[in-house]
Amino acid sequence: MSLFIQSAYAADAAAGNPSPIPSIVMMIGFVAVFYFLIWRPQSKRTKEHRNMIDSVTVGSEVVFAGGLMGRIKKIEGEYAVITIGTGVDVKIQKSAIIAVLPEGTLASL
């Protein structure tokens, strides 16, 4: 029985002054994982979307956030007028464009 009590004292003495290095390494590891799994991919997607929005021109066929498809008729700063049917024009924010379609896609639908 006294054997267990001595080992308990030995464990208590060893835990008296823990090193902060493992905690710091763990924190750096969490930051690295967070960076590579969340921040970096999200900034890459944002940059690609911004480049796509900047590349649209009059006549581009696009899909916008509501799921509607149309052809850009006019660009007015941060807005675009899109023709979604014969005589049906809609004004949307350019940031609502989620994809640029290849030319002739609307005619084939």
Number of H helices, E strands in the chain: 4, 5
Using pLDDT thresholds of 50, 70 and 90, give the confidence band for residue 101.
very high
Quickly list H helices, the chain. 2-14, 21-34, 40-55, 105-108
d(CA 71, CA 100): 10
Top-level class of domain 58-108: mainly beta
The model scores a pTM over 0.85: no
Using pLDDT thresholds of 50, 70 and 90, give the confidence band for residue 10.
low
Give the tens place of pLDDT for each residue, 32-53.
999 999 999 999 999 999 999 9
Give the tens place of pLDDT for each residue, 16-34.
667 889 899 999 999 999 9
